[in-house]
Structure 1
């Protein structure tokens, strides 16, 4: 059992995904998803179609929905999707939100309302809208692209707004006018949605991300310093975690590499580093010039010969019998043979 509720104009919108399956499989797309946002007061709908549910796509759909409605509601209701909730917790505990969702909501000035687990009736308005769009826009039709599907929804919206809703018994378009007027204005600049990671700087001024290497200015970083990576589908922006004296954090911007194993380097980032031009190297074609030494004395030459392994093999060593050492020490050599006189 649950209590039915209504909201005031501009107070709430509900968001949900729909899985449209392989509707574009003949065009090479594995799956197509529908993103839905419905204004709770008027039931005014928005829908767009995508081939991904990743973080950047999710919030790009939000921007399109806000532009469609001409403003931002005070609250947006979600289920526990991983693009909004960082991890699941026990009932009654505070839900840890995804940092990118918090940043996006702060930029557009709306509150995030996450439903309790297993409470689908909390966003029944948008869940009903998923089925309506599927029945009236997609059913019995074939498409060649997501853009064509978006155009089909846009052509259907005036028909939906002309209908009288069964719950509030008013024309959806008339009630939507009051809903749109109560929405908050859009910010002057859109929010840039990006993946965010911390990575250390290597001694070669390169940072590893996504199987590729990206350079940062050598004069602005130190080895093993942590740098924040903000990556979109087309760009990789590298930011310092501490602002410089001018309050700036951006270190470098690169085009995002395709695939793995690429090195994206801006040569000016290595300015000030040793170039290796003074290193003594040879290709084997240039003969090595002998070093010039001052003449050494006889004793110094003998010592130098002992220190040099090649020369040590040429040193002449005197040889003498062991009996010489016996005579010098006054000892007799040990023998096991005795004469007949000694035995008597």
Structure 2
């Protein structure tokens, strides 16, 4: 399996986030990708290649231009106010606060723009963020091209991750939805039905929002119950899609403490639905924060379980694109990631 990777991920290196009422060092750090690429090399997974440049066109197929232009210019707008530290929002247009379209109005001020587009205060923007975000999208698109042109599988080592980013919002360490961009690329190249399987500990809220009213992209997310866990307001089992997308979204929320036995039962349900759907290609949003020692998560999967996860995904016998998402037990992240990929390859 070939891995697509860009050193430009290092340009995004947030200093602080607000998490559970505390201001702390950002968990989503460059060391995550460093650990993973090191393990890919030492395990001999396959060739590592650099991404191609695809421009903004495939990004704008699924993301609002306003969000994209905001991300492109946010640091310059922030720095123009004289601030040299990371940009984070501090106020949001909750219902009743704004009379603008859709209940919110876009401010000319960078602080207002941050609150308009961000869903949390845990996703800092700095001078290199946009370059890293663009590189991450290009990583996903390059790996998608490998699969679309005949390779059985590919691994997009995307950083920053993407599944919390919706068509017109960012957050949860995510700015652009790499899996969503890749799914649209498959569609634009002629595939009729694409499935996205999100195995991250946190609900793929951005992916759900992006395709919720579409029947050409089946989205399935296994995640911690939003009654207990971020992003809290979305990810419930009764959210099944709307309009043309009704029946083409599946949420499988699971309780804190879920181990492989409980997780694998939900995974079997997901894989059966993908088979019923008749997908022509599968995108896996590969979050590894389901690990028993992850510092911000509460599932109980062990290292060996990730090989089983890869093996179960392989049973679908579909062209498969793995897109890196979360996972914050950094020292174990490389082993767990490569265990999935080698399990998929049955080795």
Quick check: TM above 0.5? no
TM-score, normalised to structure 1, is 0.22
The higher radius of gyration belongs to 1
Structure of greater relative contact order (alpha carbons < 8 Å, 6+ residues apart): 2
- Greater share of residues in strand: 1
- Greater share of residues in helix: 2
